[in-house]
Copies of this chain bind each other. A is one copy, B any other.
Amino acid sequence: MLQNAARRALEYGRGFLSQGVLVDYIPELAKADPGRLGLCVFTNDGQKAVCGDVDRRFTIQSISKVISLATALQCEGFDKVFSKVMMEPSGDAFNSILKLDLASNRPYNPMINAGAIEVVSMLTPLFSFEQMLEYARVLCLDGDIVLDEAVYESETLTGDRNRAIAYLLRSKGVLEGDAMKTIDLYFRLCAMSVNARSLAGLGLVIANGGVDPDSGRRLLDERVVRVVKTMMLTCGMYDGSGEFAVRVGIPAKSGVGGGIMACVENRMGIGTYGPALDDRGNSIGGRKALEFLSRELHLHIFDSQSE
């Protein structure tokens, strides 16, 4: 039944692909095939549903913000992290610097670029990229994640706005350490190559309170996971987060590489891949497939028929 619902969700999502467009500001990403769509669901009790392009690799992009935040919370603690970044939805685009300059020295939340760069600046003195990569493999239950060198190069060439954000954070005294090293780690984390399965794996660990249900191994503290899930719910889908919370009601994080990672509390992790994006930068096929699945399986946090 899960596999059947997944298949129908994929079909539903596919109907919207023609309304999406490829990201254009990172040339390497503009080469993707906008017709692709994949959906992968892993449940707490061991079921797996996969359909469509679930093996194709793409770069994780902003979904890495979840990994960075979880790592920083795990290593530096709640209070230190949130002394440097706030927890508020910003209502602005992911790469906005408006609020940073007008309203607050601290970035609004760790899911927008400014906040994520700040979080990565806390990780830079602690971990090499290789260590972060290894940790990503563990959290995603996927040992095959690698750096996509071509996308990394492409981001490096076109990443001036992120460099501007890093220097702005430094000028405000919230980013300590070297701005260029921080940005390099940030670009590398964005260029990790995952597939829909990796994202379903990550979603499952988070849905399950930080424990891999297969091995029973705890990978993240329960409190860290709770914070991450809440931030995903309020801020995870760029400036479409509020509408996604209303219509879908599942904590999720999207990336401009075309991925969405979602987690249904105590039930399942979901990964989708579809590089055609809507006007907020979210995968349009993935978003619509999740909307279908939420309605069909009663996954909305406030669906009274949800388990």
> What residues of chain A have their CB less than 8 Å away from a CB belonging to chain B?
86-92, 96-99, 101-103, 108-109, 160-161, 163-168, 170-171, 179, 209, 222, 225-227, 229-231, 233-235, 239-243, 245-246, 249, 251, 265-266, 300-304
Chain B residues with CB under 8 A of A160: 167-168, 170-171, 179
**23 A-B interface contacts by CB (under 8 A):** A87-B243, A87-B245, A88-B89, A88-B91, A88-B242, A90-B91, A97-B168, A102-B102, A160-B168, A161-B168, A163-B164, A163-B167, A163-B171, A163-B179, A164-B171, A167-B167, A222-B304, A226-B303, A230-B246, A230-B302, A231-B246, A265-B302, A266-B304
- With A97-B101, A101-B97 as given contacts, are A89 and B164 in contact (CB-CB < 8 Å)? no
The answer to whether A87 touches B242 (Cβ under 8 A) is yes
With both chains docked as a complex, state the minimum distance between the C-beta of A42 and any C-beta of chain B, in angstroms: 17
* Whole-angstrom CA separation of A301 from B90 in the bound complex: 22
Copies of this chain, tallied across the complex: 4
Main SS at interface, chain A: helix
Bound-complex Cα distance A166 to B179 (A): 14
Among A86, A265, A302, A304, residue most surrounded by chain B Cβ atoms (within 10 Å): A302
Closest CB-CB distance, A171 to chain B, in whole Å?
Answer: 4
For A166, the chain B residues whose CB sits under 8 A away are 164
A286, B101: Cα distance in complex, Å: 30
Complexed CA–CA distance, A232 and B66 (Å): 24
Closest to A99 in B: B91
Most chain B Cβ neighbours within 10 Å, of A91, A98, A227: A91
- Sort A-B residue pairs by CB-CB distance and give the 5 closest, nearest first: A89-B89, A164-B167, A160-B171, A88-B242, A161-B171
Give the distance to chain B from A268, nearest Cβ to Cβ, in Å: 14
Decide if B179 touches A242 in the complex (CB within 8 Å): no
| Known contacts A164-B164, A246-B231; is-contact A209 B91 (Cβ 8 Å) | no
